[in-house]
Amino acid sequence: MDAVRRYLAEIGRRGGQRSRRELDPETARKMVRVREARRAFRRFRVSCFWSSPPDYLVTAADVPWVAERLRTYGGREGWRLGSRLCR
């Protein structure tokens, strides 16, 4: 039982340490923008991206395209998400 407690304590200690990866703010913002664009692509695929393959992987270069399609064909919610992607 003591070995299990030590093991869990070690895992908790490592999990609480700060990440060693350092990102500059601009790179972090780009990563978030791509993640949000991918999420929007999946959510609005039927209404805005029907001509694209369902397993299409959105990249950083595709974010303006996703935003434009959302604002054009996504209704109010799509317009809001597309505008947020363009910030």
Q: At what angle do helices 25-43 and 63-73 cross, to 10 degrees?
A: 40
Quote the pLDDT of residue 45: 94
pLDDT value for 15: 60
Q: Pull the structure tokens for residue 72.
A: 């054009």
How far apart, in Å, are the Cα atoms of 7 and each of 19, 56, 59? 20, 41, 39
The reported pLDDT for the residue numbered 20 is 58
pTM greater than 0.85: no
Tens digits of residue pLDDT in 42-73? 999 999 999 999 999 999 999 999 999 999 99
Q: What is the pLDDT of residues 8-18, one digit of tens each?
A: 777 776 665 55
